[in-house]
Amino acid sequence: MAYSISSSTSNAFRCDSETLRFAPRQHHCGRVNPTPSSLLSFNSSPFLAQTLGASLSPVSRRNIRVRAKMAASEGSINGSNRMLVFVPPHPLIKHWISVLRNDQTPCPIFRNAIGELGRLLMYEASREWLPTVVGEIMSPMGAASVEFIDPREPIAVVPILRAGLALAEHASTVLPANKIYHLGISRDEKTLLPSVYLNKLPDEFPKNSRVFLVDPMLATGGTIIAAMGLLKERGLSVQQIKVICAVAAPPALSKLNEKYPGLHVYAGIIDPEVNEKGFIIPGLGDAGDRSFGT
């Protein structure tokens, strides 16, 4: 399931349901026009209200519309200037989110669960996004046509410390020959403003790089906006970046959409609100503290 946030004043969320197939090198402009019955509002759809934010203010509810449509491939929506938020409808993703939400989950199990969630989200995000090369090899039984990930086009993972380390822990089991660049960004507990304390990014990313930016909690949006700015400064386009998160909330998604239209975000779930301390509600608490026990 994918939600796209319009850059227009209506701030419409678009929901693209069913299995997604990704092919970002294809540039299709065509869209499937939804039927009138697929145009839903919060008030008419309890499920969508719960998913996207039943506790939003009445004004916010009036300004958000949800449209459902079938999507055969990501290529069919690539021409959009809207940011897309993909929530893969996989039962294992739902399972690990549930484990992470439980306040009784001990630290070792929490860390394992967030790592497994990250593995699944990166698998979904990499579907038909990674370049491949074809050839022929000899199997024990004869010649076989094969297709490998192209090692000439770089794949990078950028976890935002601390919690991003846990979410990206199993990246190497999904992404072959990837490089990991660490980025440390802390958030002031009073002002909620981000501050970069560690930057191991290259001066410039190699041409045709594909980068997974990993941050478990997209709450107020300050951290992810700062990280996106650093990646853009180093030569990456929005199309070369995919954001991986465990939980996303409307404030962060709205800021990302406003500043980086066309960005693709992969989330385990979308929660309705952020409290005055900058925590997602119901969320899963402080992902860094719960991952590392400190």
CB-based contacts of 267: which residues, under 8 Å, 6+ apart?
A: 85, 86, 87, 121, 218, 245, 246, 247, 248
User: For 62-82, what is the mean pLDDT?
Assistant: 43
* Per-residue pLDDT tens over the stretch 131-152: 899 999 999 999 999 999 988 8
In the 3-class helix/strand/coil scheme, how is 257-289 assigned residue by residue?
A: HHHCCCCEEEEEEECCEECCCCCEECCCCCHHH
4 pLDDT band (50/70/90 cuts)? low
Instruction: Evaluate the omega torsion of the peptide bond into residue 282 and state whether it is cis, within 30 degrees of 0.
Output: yes
The predicted structure's pLDDT at residue 37: 27
The predicted structure's pLDDT at residue 1: 62
**Position 63 pLDDT exceeds 70:** no
**pTM for this prediction:** 0.74
* Per-residue pLDDT tens over the stretch 189-226: 778 788 899 999 999 999 889 999 999 999 999 999 99
Backbone angles phi, psi at 95, to 5 degrees: -65, -50
**Position 17 pLDDT exceeds 70:** no
Strand pairing category for 241-248 and 264-270: parallel
Strands annotated E in the chain = 2-5, 13-17, 39-40, 66-70, 83-86, 132-139, 142-149, 155-161, 178-180, 183-187, 194-199, 210-214, 217-218, 241-248, 264-270, 273-274, 280-281
**Position 7 pLDDT exceeds 90:** no
d(CA 67, CA 51): 14
* Per-residue pLDDT tens over the stretch 268-291: 999 999 998 889 999 998 888 888
